[in-house]
Structure 1
């Protein structure tokens, strides 16, 4: 099945080698490998790195419905580094437009390249991931996770190839990384708290997004999110919060600071009608509150540079906009503002009509 997994409650490694081989299950009943069985000491002192190189994913026919390629599971105190030469090659082109997984229906059956699940105190650094079948790196049900100096690449039209996805986790940092994909550069999903995204170059791709939240009426929450020092280049969105109509819960205490946009389709977005073109009123929405934008600047590809499109239920409040200058190269930039409540300070362009 082409999976590396670790199922030890406490595994302390200085580093885990990226081997230049195609890793297959090869007799393991559950497709899970414990690196201690392959010579790693895990004593917190020994450097277990032996080889740097490339790990290449198996073809789609070898996956048997597996949802991930590699997983770190129930690990405490793990450092994984590629030494700047490590590469995960997900061979995603075999998935994106193949019979096994077409982009319009079955792409969500494609596996994520690397999953960190139910882990504590993990650092992933200095490696690249290219052409993941779906998401490149996912962090789920984990805490104290630091992802730094990473590079994720996939074509702009590759479906759902998020650079990093986070859900049900807290105290997660994504820093000093470059992400160009067909999905979100960083997506922050339900149950995420105390997440920092700092020093990211994003493009091509969609955005750094909070959400989507509240699909099919679900109750979901995200809070204490700090996105700062991000450059968006030729992305479809930038600083984005997205919730489904009819959802419940909240997205609150979120800040976007020192953000630069270069030719971004929709630089600043709050959308409480995600993936619903009809905007049916009075269905309720995930409450969006205490959202702060500070020192945002750059260029919008389209005239509408800011979109705050909120539900009539009054669930989009305490939106604070300070020092924004986003221009449209071919004329006056505009802001679309529907049912949002909040205020502006300092120089704000374009003017946001429904904020004080």
Structure 2
């Protein structure tokens, strides 16, 4: 595969992507040991309008493997309106302060797997967006970055759904977040059947997060929330940079239900105790759980 380097910013500024696979069925792309996509993101990060490096759009039966992507202007790889897509053995890198450089973003797609990869960027290592179903993230080393995020969902009151998401065997190292679910105030729809299993945190700012108040001043305030249900956390361990290791911030509308936490041990990276902050979440714990989560049974 060799190295593919993006052109200067201006010649492709009229498009929102650099490379795209569109309406392709049965595609395999592998880079071997030398495959590299260089997005030259440093020429873009100061601009308001940025471009994704590689987009897989309206495709099926696609495998991308064994190549690197560095310094994308915005998202490195976006999988949109596609099915049966496998991304494996990838190395994705960008500086910790590079804006919106998600490693892999999944949007309105199903049967997507992201496996055996190392991702360190300035945004989410993997983000799972609206309309996505049956997504597996397995065997990822994430850091730096904003963790693995389900959402954001329900912006500007939109009705959206995400379901059957399985995140497992992930190491978060020096990330801003770890296992995160985020929804906007005023959103509608649901996110359900989401599991985080066998997760290790090393000096993570916010290891476990549910945030139903992902809102800025331009959004629709105080009008319900995307319903979250059947969220399971099993065998999570490691260290938190800050005292608060678990944050469940749920709406008063009763839209955070069936939260199950089993076997969690998150201690402070530099000594001292950790705590959990919890409001309006309903569910239960089993096994050894530290820090104790006060609003779960």
Could you say which residue in structure 1 is the equivalent of 2:8? Answer: 59
Provide the C-alpha distance between the structure 2 equivalents of 1:95 and 1:267, rounded to a whole number of angstroms.
30
Query: Which residue pairs with 1:219 in the alignment?
Result: 159
The structural deviation recorded for 1:280 is: 9.9
Is 1:310–2:259 an aligned residue pair? no
Compared with structure 1, are the counterparts of its residues 74 and 304 closer, same or farther at alpha carbon in structure 2 (3 Å cutoff)? Answer: same
Question: Is structure 2 residue 80 aligned with structure 1 residue 140?
Answer: yes
- Deviation readout 1:267-325 (Å, 9 max, x if unpaired): 00000001348x99852000010000000000000000000000000000000000000
Compared CA separation, residues 160 and 281, structure 1 to 2 (3 A)? closer
Matches within 5 A, 1:254-333: 254-276=194-216, 283-328=223-268, 329-333=270-274
* Alignment partner, residue 89 of structure 1: 38
Report how far residue 159 of structure 1 moved.
0.1
The 3-state SS of whatever aligns with 2:44 is: helix
- For 1:213 and 1:79, how far apart are their aligned partners in 2? 31
Superposition pairs for residues 19-98 of structure 1, below 5 Å? Answer: 52-97=1-46
Alignment check: 8 A CA contact 1:323 1:345 kept? yes
> Structure 1, residues 27-81: CA drift from partner, whole Å, max 9, x if none?
xxxxxxxxxxxxxxxxxxxxxxxxx310000111112321000000000000000
Post-superposition CA distance 1:190-239 (Å, at most 9, x none):
00000000000000000100000000000010000000000000000000
Match of 1:231 in 2: 171
Separation in 2 of the partners of 1:191 and 1:281? 23
For the 8 Å contact 1:172–1:194, the answer to whether it is kept is yes
Q: Which stretches in structure 1 are left out of the alignment for 5+ residues?
A: 1-51
Secondary structure of the corresponding residue to residue 235 of structure 1? coil
Paired position in structure 2 for 1:348: 289
- Structure with more of its chain in strand, by fraction: 2
Note if contact 2:61-2:83 (Cα within 8 Å) is conserved in structure 1: yes
Report how many residues are paired: 296
1:85 Cα deviation from its structure 2 partner: 1.0
TM-score, normalised via structure 1 length: 0.81
Report the Cα distance in structure 1 between the residues aligned to 2:107 and 2:236, rounded to whole angstroms: 26
**Structure 2 matches for 1:179-258, cutoff 5 A?**
179-258=119-198
Counterparts of 1:60 and 1:280, CA distance in 2 = 34
**Cα displacement (A) at 1:333:** 0.2
Equivalent-residue separation in structure 2 for 1:59 and 1:185 (angstroms): 25
- For structure 2, the residue ranges without an aligned partner over 5 or more in a row are none
Alpha-carbon distance change, 282 to 68 in structure 1, aligned in 2, over 3 angstroms: closer
Rounded to whole Å, the distance in 1 between the matches of 2:13 and 2:282 is 49
Q: Scaled by the length of structure 2, what TM-score is found?
A: 0.97
Query: Any conservation in 1 of the 2:186–2:221 contact (CA below 8 Å)?
Result: no
Q: CA deviation at 1:330?
A: 2.7
1:176 aligns with 2:125: no
